[in-house]
Amino acid sequence: MELYTNLREGEKGAWISICIYISLSIFKLSAGYIGSSEALKADGLNNFTDIIASIAILIGLRISQKPPDDHHQYGHLRAETIASLVAAFIMASIGIQVIIQAITHLINPIEQQPSFLTAIVAFISAIVMYAVYRYNLRLGTRINSPAVKAAAYDNRSDAFVSLGATIGIIGSIIGFPILDGITALIVGIIIMITAYNIFHEAAYTLSDGFNVEEAESLSTIVKHVIGVETVKNFKGRMHGNLMFIDLTVTVDPTLNVIDSHRITEEIEQKIMKVKPFSVVHVHIEPHMEND
């Protein structure tokens, strides 16, 4: 099935992120301690959280590929979303740690100027992370994976964090040492914001939240199907990257079963044309004047 093939392909993005994050985390933390930069150390810790988050997403993608069974008749696709939720909590815990360390550094500053090497490391990291962001965004969009796209947006925030760290380090070198601690604090806040956004999206999906505008757009498509009189009910929910849609339409009560079935098939085809990764269930009712 193409859906599971895409999930396997999504693992590539997670593996690339893990390898990059491990390298950058070791590189930044080492350079941060050697070069005395709180901003770069905070950035390195940020990448450490991303390693754990990427592993959680990788596990979620792997579990999502398990076929339906007696206890999971809709499959295991929500494991991908649960993994994102776990990753959000991990990121938040590290974000709190970074903020505490940054505030401590600001209250009790260490009169030691960071080396220019740390600025170079931070800038190179920003370029690398932006390249990873572009790759994962293209991959996530192509396979319609919310977890891979969430990882991509995390990659983008990491690129901005590293760029901000570069600016903070350079500011500290030219005579504004407080900028290094302030940048570390901003990094911690960005980690917390990213964690909240991932948590919010995962919680929204797990609670069967569905975009109202998307529901209205799909309902309009159904209304234009020949033979549909009204759309009485439209419900949608997400299972990983698979959309489940349940709707009720009314048709001419004089239609036979074959013609009614043709209408349901056309509705399914119209929706799946714009939402390829979807499962559509259509219920037919006879149209009455009071509908």
- Note the pLDDT tens digit of each residue in 247-288: 999 999 999 999 999 999 999 999 988 888 788 999 999 988
Task: Give every CB contact of residue 273 below 8 A, 6+ residues apart in sequence.
Answer: none
Higher pLDDT, 96 or 151: 96
Domains of the chain (ranges; CATH) run 2-206 (1.20.1510.10), 212-286 (3.30.70.1350)
In a 13 Å sphere around the CA of 32, the CA atoms on its Cβ side amount to: 25
Strands 242-251, 228-239: pairing kind: antiparallel
User: What values do phi and psi take at 113, rounded to 5?
Assistant: -75, 130
C-alpha dist (Å) from residue 24 to 18, 64, 127: 10, 29, 12
Residues 61-66, mean pLDDT to the nearest whole number? 81
Arithmetic mean of pLDDT over the chain: 83
pLDDT at 268: 93
Higher pLDDT, 161 or 233: 233
Cα dihedral across residues 155, 145, 273, 238: positive or negative: negative
Least confident of 86-95, 109-118, 163-172, 180-189: 109-118
pLDDT at 5: 61
